[in-house]
Structure 1
Amino acid sequence: MSKLDLAISEMTGRIYVARFGKNGDVLEKTDVTDKVIGHLIRHMEIVETFEYTCGAGTLIFIPSDQEAPNGH
């Protein structure tokens, strides 16, 4: 039986849904980067959270009807 998981390409930064074999080999992968980002933005809109912080840094979502701070 294979395992389905998310993976990221260290070379391109693209996000994949990948199916892995028993020994960890990638059997199949589908690029889902755009879908993941779109769903994350929609999630942030729904829960009205416009900032997400993790170990890598802070992601700030600015709705299109608002002006970005500091000219960003």
Structure 2
Amino acid sequence: MSIMNDFDSWKDFLANRLDQAQAQGMSHETITNVAHEIGDFLSQRVNAKNDEQAVLKDLWNAASEQEQQSIASAMVKLVQKQ
């Protein structure tokens, strides 16, 4: 099963990548900027595989640049708490 099919698997994957980035000394700002770039990529090129991803994609596409940065930051916080 692909990590994109299950939202919990997706969050676990992101949490692992976040841990790796922090271990490499990446700043919170840099991590959030990378999360924003990933959000842009996913919204433009990847079809949602579950309801949670569909909601995130709709929110992303409706959001301004500043709001997208907030969504990216919230996703970072969400996976940090795991």
Is TM > 0.5 for Structure 1 vs Structure 2? no
Q: Quickly name the TM-score band, shorter chain normalised.
A: 0.3 to 0.5
Higher-Rg structure is 1
Give the structure, 1 or 2, with the largest relative contact order (CA under 8 Å, sep 6 or more): 2
More strand, by proportion: 1
Please report the TM-score for the alignment, with normalisation by the length of structure 2. Answer: 0.32
Structure holding more helix per residue = 2
